[in-house]
């Protein structure tokens, strides 16, 4: 609108603006806002993982999470986004052009879309760090994170969202007459990250002391339930950007020249996301209480996240009650899936990323046709199962190849001495908790005892410790002594 003055009066005249231009502007602002919200999941992951490792390894976890973002966005801009387009063309009849695939680099009109894709890629990459915490060499992790954002995840993106093999226009989609459904990345992002983390955890090997000589798992409690739960809630907050933000159309131009608010579509996505979250948390509490006799806040946190993962691919496609069921399934299978990973596969997945992101993502996405608003479709079910299998197979093979190649350059894990000392000091020369973890002060090596596990020397009572409700508590750092073996962790320690 513009104004003009005549005889002291202000006249307001409406501007003749194309409704599609208004809709596009609003939609792109919305995409920017939710991209920033998804970025806020990075500190959520950092806190979640930091809480589940021992205090002597917190700095290393934080370093890896920052690297995922800082290095990842550079690699995804220079390589990853273009690779996704190329894979989409290679696995569909449409073909591709290398020049066109990387044209976004010089086209500022595409950069908002690029950012929206980048925050998803960074999420897939950062999931891996929770599986390999406390023993992976930082150099090896940097290489793997770079390849994850430059090749492994972009290939999955190309097969699905970039019109490749699994899309309706891809080779398999054309054969089946339908495309793979994964709205916001339950498998494209989360299962990809969870499976890559599982492979990496297997190849790096378990933490020292994680399994006894008979192969039985031994608990290694994380140092802060508070940080883990706080990180979970931050992730849940950011997840609204992840799911609701993928419903990128807020306003749509109508044929009559008006504007339509897409409230029904946004409402379904928001509701199913919320119901899946709640159902997953409640289901996990029920299952974990049956398993260990008492409700556990960290298993509840696991279930909340697994419920979100389970509905992430389904939110616009299923009924509200279908979303509730999928979320509950995701939460219910977290503990059994984690126990299978640790006790049967003997893989030390510290933060339970395979159970939370891998298994829940696969189950929730495969079952979309069962609860679909449009009704059950056997063909769609075949596509969903095939898609889950193809994405998992690619991620397993690609991750293994990258890790084998990386091991030829340098060891995948730190030395035994560094692992005992803690990766904070061994890898980075810092201590996140200098008051009670190790001894990073000027008197280091001059007789001051170094704490060996979260700041508490196990099995010793020194004069600066007092009894408090049966637990030894240090007075200098405020750190509670290591708890009993039934201490729970977020998928990272045995129950």
User: What is the band of 325 on the pLDDT scale with cuts at 50, 70, 90?
Assistant: very high
CB 234 within 8 A of CB 39: no
What burial letters (b/e) apply to 18-43, b meaning 16+ CB within 10 Å? ebeeebeeebeebbeebbebbbebbb
C-alpha 332/C-alpha 446 separation (Å) is 51
What local confidence, expressed as pLDDT, does residue 257 receive? 82
**Count of residues making up the chain:** 495
User: What is the band of 11 on the pLDDT scale with cuts at 50, 70, 90?
Assistant: low
Choose between 279 and 447: higher pLDDT.
279
CB 194 within 8 A of CB 353: yes
Neighbour-count burial of 288, counting CB atoms closer than 10 A to its CB (0-12 exposed, 13-18 middle, 19+ buried): buried
What local confidence, expressed as pLDDT, does residue 445 receive? 43
What local confidence, expressed as pLDDT, does residue 463 receive? 34
Helix ranges (DSSP H) in 91-160: 98-101, 111-131, 138-147, 153-159
What local confidence, expressed as pLDDT, does residue 486 receive? 36
Q: Give the model confidence (pLDDT) of 63-114 as tens digits.
A: 999 999 999 999 999 999 999 999 999 999 988 899 999 999 999 999 999 9
C-alpha 390/C-alpha 294 separation (Å) is 39
Three-state secondary-structure class, residue 2: strand
What local confidence, expressed as pLDDT, does residue 278 receive? 98
Q: Which CATH code fits 29-249+260-407? A: 1.10.3430.10
What local confidence, expressed as pLDDT, does residue 187 receive? 98
What local confidence, expressed as pLDDT, does residue 7 receive? 54
In the predicted model, is pLDDT for residue 254 greater than 90?
no
C-alpha 19/C-alpha 259 separation (Å) is 6
What local confidence, expressed as pLDDT, does residue 435 receive? 78
Name the residue with tokens 């226009």: 169
Cβ within 8 Å of residue 475, ≥6 positions away: 464, 465, 466
> Of 433, 430, 436, 459, nearest to 449 (Cα)?
436
In the predicted model, is pLDDT for residue 316 greater than 50?
yes
> Of 265, 304, 297, nearest to 44 (Cα)?
304
- Gap between the terminal Cα atoms of the chain: 64
C-alpha 471/C-alpha 456 separation (Å) is 11
Q: Give the model confidence (pLDDT) of 228-253 as tens digits.
A: 999 999 999 999 999 999 998 899 98
Q: Give the model confidence (pLDDT) of 185-209 as tens digits.
A: 999 999 999 999 999 999 999 999 9
Query: Domain-by-domain residue ranges, the chain?
Result: 29-249+260-407
In the predicted model, is pLDDT for residue 367 greater than 80?
yes
CB 371 within 8 A of CB 320: no
237: its two tokens = 């907050």
Q: Give the model confidence (pLDDT) of 146-179 as tens digits.
A: 999 999 999 999 999 999 999 999 999 999 999 9
DSSP of 211-257: B-TTS-B-----S-HHHHHHHHHHHHHHHHHHHGGG---SEEE-TTS
- pLDDT > 70 in the chain, percent: 85
What local confidence, expressed as pLDDT, does residue 19 receive? 86
pTM for the model stands at 0.86
In the predicted model, is pLDDT for residue 472 greater than 90?
no
In the predicted model, is pLDDT for residue 441 greater than 50?
no
Q: Out of 21-25, 42-46, 81-85, 277-281, which region has the weakest mean confidence (pLDDT)? A: 21-25
CB 195 within 8 A of CB 126: no
Region 213-235 average pLDDT? 95
Helix (H) or strand (E) holding 260: strand 259-261
- pLDDT > 90 in the chain, percent: 80
C-alpha 474/C-alpha 491 separation (Å) is 27
Q: Out of 62-71, 378-387, 481-490, which region has the weakest mean confidence (pLDDT)? A: 481-490
């Amino acid at each position: 609108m513009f104004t003009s003055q005549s005889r002291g009066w202000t006249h307001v005249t409406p501007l003749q603006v194309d409704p599609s231009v208004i809709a596009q502007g609003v939609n792109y602002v919305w995409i920017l806002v939710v991209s920033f919200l998804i970025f806020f999941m990075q500190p959520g992951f950092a806190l979640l993982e930091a809480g589940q490792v021992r205090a002597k390894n917190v700095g290393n976890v934080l370093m890896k999470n920052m690297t995922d973002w800082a290095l990842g966005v550079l690699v995804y801009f220079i390589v990853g986004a273009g690779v996704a387009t190329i894979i989409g063309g290679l696995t569909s009849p449409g073909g591709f052009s290398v020049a066109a695939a990387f044209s976004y680099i010089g086209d500022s009109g595409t950069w908002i879309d690029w950012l929206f894709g980048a925050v998803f890629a960074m999420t897939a990459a950062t999931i891996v760090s929770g599986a390999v915490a406390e023993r992976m060499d930082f150099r090896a992790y940097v290489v793997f994170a770079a390849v994850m954002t430059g090749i492994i995840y972009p290939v999955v993106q190309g097969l699905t969202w970039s019109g490749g093999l699994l899309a309706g226009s891809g080779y398999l989609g054309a054969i089946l007459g339908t495309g793979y459904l994964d709205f916001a990345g339950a498998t494209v992002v989360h299962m990809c990250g969870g499976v890559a983390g599982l492979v990496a955890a297997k190849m790096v090997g378990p933490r020292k002391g994680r399994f006894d000589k008979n192969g039985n798992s031994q608990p290694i409690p994380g140092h802060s339930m508070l940080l883990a739960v706080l990180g979970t809630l931050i992730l849940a907050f950011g997840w609204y950007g992840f799911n609701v933000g993928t419903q990128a159309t807020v306003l749509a131009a109508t044929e009559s020249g008006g504007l339509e608010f897409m409230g029904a579509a946004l409402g379904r996505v928001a509701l199913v996301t919320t119901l899946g979250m709640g159902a997953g948390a409640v289901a996990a509490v029920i299952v974990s209480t049956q398993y260990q006799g008492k409700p556990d806040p960290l298993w509840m946190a696991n279930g909340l996240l697994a419920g979100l993962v389970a509905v992430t691919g389904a939110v616009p496609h299923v009924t509200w009650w279908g979303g509730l069921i999928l979320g509950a399934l995701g939460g219910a299978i977290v503990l059994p899936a984690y126990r299978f990973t640790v006790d049967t596969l003997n893989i030390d997945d510290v933060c339970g990323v395979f159970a939370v992101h891998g298994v829940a993502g696969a189950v929730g996405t495969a079952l979309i046709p069962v609860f679909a608003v449009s009704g059950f479709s056997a063909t769609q079910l075949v596509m969903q199962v095939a898609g889950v299998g193809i994405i998992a197979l690619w991620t397993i093979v690609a991750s293994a190849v990258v890790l084998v190649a990386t091991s030829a350059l340098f060891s995948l894990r730190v030395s035994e001495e560094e692992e005992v000392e803690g990766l904070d000091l061994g890898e980075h020369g810092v201590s996140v908790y200098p008051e009670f973890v190790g001894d990073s002060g000027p008197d280091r090596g001059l007789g001051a005892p170094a704490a060996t596990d979260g700041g508490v020397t196990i099995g010793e009572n020194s004069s600066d410790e007092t009894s408090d409700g049966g637990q030894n508590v240090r007075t200098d750092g405020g750190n509670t002594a290591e708890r009993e073996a039934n201490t729970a962790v977020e998928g990272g320690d045995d129950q």
